[in-house]
């Protein structure tokens, strides 16, 4: 179910916490801050359904959100994970189109929420934010393209490494949820395949698997194990 939107007015100081908002021109920043609300996002909350127009942008402070789609068997597949310093629904906002993928919270935390601005507001009142949303939208496209290439050509080991590396970059959490069944569902792999991939990543001293958890031992090695299939 979609998480209830329970706004708490944001302050200019809170907006300064986010790199996409901190350096806007004074007048523009004031106009944007008036539209921001500080919210807490909980794991599992659906911020937007695939095919629906997102109601809000979420400028993520320490939460993480997965972009998910469905395969031919109607199973949810994870395309990418965005976290601190990033924004959700930039592509849908810039193109004024429905979201092509679902947005689901995978790590709880704070965000600055803003009702999806109109093209007129962005062009006339917030051109600096518009430029940054265009950059974020381009980054979103690159992440989706990387995910498609990953599905088509990456080994299971590279796919699992890329998934864990993206979660690390989004959250900076050393301990990640590592249930083999969940990772297998998210990546469209068999559970046994995920188990073997994690064992190989352990042997490379990139991670250490625990019961239901994965510890990131060496992020640099983990990113290297992902090969060219890690979204920038």
Specify whether 48 is located in the same domain as 134. Answer: yes
The pair of structure tokens assigned to 227 is 């090969």
Specify the pLDDT at position 180. Answer: 86
Residue 182 falls inside a structural domain: yes
Model pLDDT, residue 172: 87
Cα gap 73→69, rounded to integer Å: 11
The predicted model gives 112-116 an average pLDDT of 95
Task: Point out the domain boundary residue: 131, 150, 169.
Answer: 150
Percentage of residues of the chain with pLDDT beyond 70: 91
In a domain, 231, yes or no: no
Say which range, 37-51, 69-83, 172-186, 214-228, has the weakest mean pLDDT.
Answer: 69-83
Give the chain's radius of gyration (CA, Å). Answer: 18
Are residues 197 and 82 part of one domain? no
3-state helix, strand and coil shares in percent for the chain, rounded to the nearest 5: 40, 25, 35
Assigned domain for 62 exists: yes
Which CATH number covers residue 173? 1.10.10.10
Same domain, 207 and 132: no
Averaged pLDDT score across all residues of the chain: 88
| 28 shares its domain with 126 | yes
Which of 127, 115, 112 has its CA nearest to residue 11? 112
Total domains, the chain? 2
Query: Which of 150, 169, 196 is at the close of a domain?
Result: 150
Range of the domain at 185: 154-225
Please say if the pLDDT value at position 4 is more than 50.
no
Per the domain annotation, does 124 fall within a domain?
A: yes
Query: Do residues 220 and 119 share a domain?
Result: no
Answer whether residue 206 shows pLDDT above 60.
Answer: yes
Q: Are residues 137 and 160 in the same domain?
A: no
Which of these ranges, 4-13, 67-76, 152-161, has the smallest mean pLDDT?
4-13
Statement to judge: residues 134 and 171 lie in one domain: no
Counting residues of the chain whose pLDDT is more than 90, the rounded percentage is: 60
**Do 184 and 143 reside in the same domain of the chain?**
no
Regarding whether 218 and 124 lie in a shared domain, the answer is no
Backbone CA torsion sign across 89, 91, 93, 99: negative
**Residue 132 and residue 181 in one domain:** no
**Distance of alpha carbon 181 from alpha carbon 194, whole angstroms:** 8
pLDDT at residue number 122: 95
Write out pLDDT tens, residues 54-102: 999 999 999 999 999 876 565 678 888 999 999 999 999 999 889 889 9
Q: Are residues 68 and 108 in the same domain?
A: yes
178 touches 217 (CB < 8 A)? no
With respect to residue 3, please indicate whether it lies within any of the assigned structural domains.
no
CB atoms within 10 A of CB 34: 10
**Which of 89, 115, 150 is the endpoint of a domain?**
150
Has residue 7 been placed in a domain?
no
């Amino acid at each position: 179910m979609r998480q209830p939107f329970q706004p708490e007015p944001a302050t200019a100081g809170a907006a300064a916490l986010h790199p996409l908002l901190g350096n806007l021109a004074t007048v523009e920043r004031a106009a944007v801050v008036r539209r921001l609300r500080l919210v807490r996002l909980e794991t599992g909350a659906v911020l937007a359904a695939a095919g629906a127009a997102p109601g809000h942008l979420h400028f993520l402070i320490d939460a993480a959100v997965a972009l998910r789609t469905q395969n031919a068997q109607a199973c949810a597949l994870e395309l990418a994970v965005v976290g601190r310093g990033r924004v959700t629904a930039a592509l849908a906002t810039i193109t004024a189109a429905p979201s092509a993928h679902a947005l689901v919270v995978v790590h709880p935390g704070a965000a600055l929420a803003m009702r999806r601005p109109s093209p007129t507001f962005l062009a006339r009142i917030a051109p600096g934010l518009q430029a940054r949303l265009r950059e974020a939208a381009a980054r979103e496209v690159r992440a989706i393209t990387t995910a498609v290439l990953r599905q088509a050509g990456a080994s299971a080991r590279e796919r699992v490494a890329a998934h864990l590396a993206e979660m690390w970059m989004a959250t900076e959490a050393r301990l990640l949820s590592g249930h083999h069944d969940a990772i297998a569902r998210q990546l469209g792999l068999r559970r046994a395949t995920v188990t073997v991939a994690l064992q190989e990543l352990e042997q490379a001293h990139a991670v250490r698997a625990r019961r239901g958890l994965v510890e990131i031992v060496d992020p640099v090695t983990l990113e290297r194990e992902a090969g060219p299939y890690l979204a920038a």
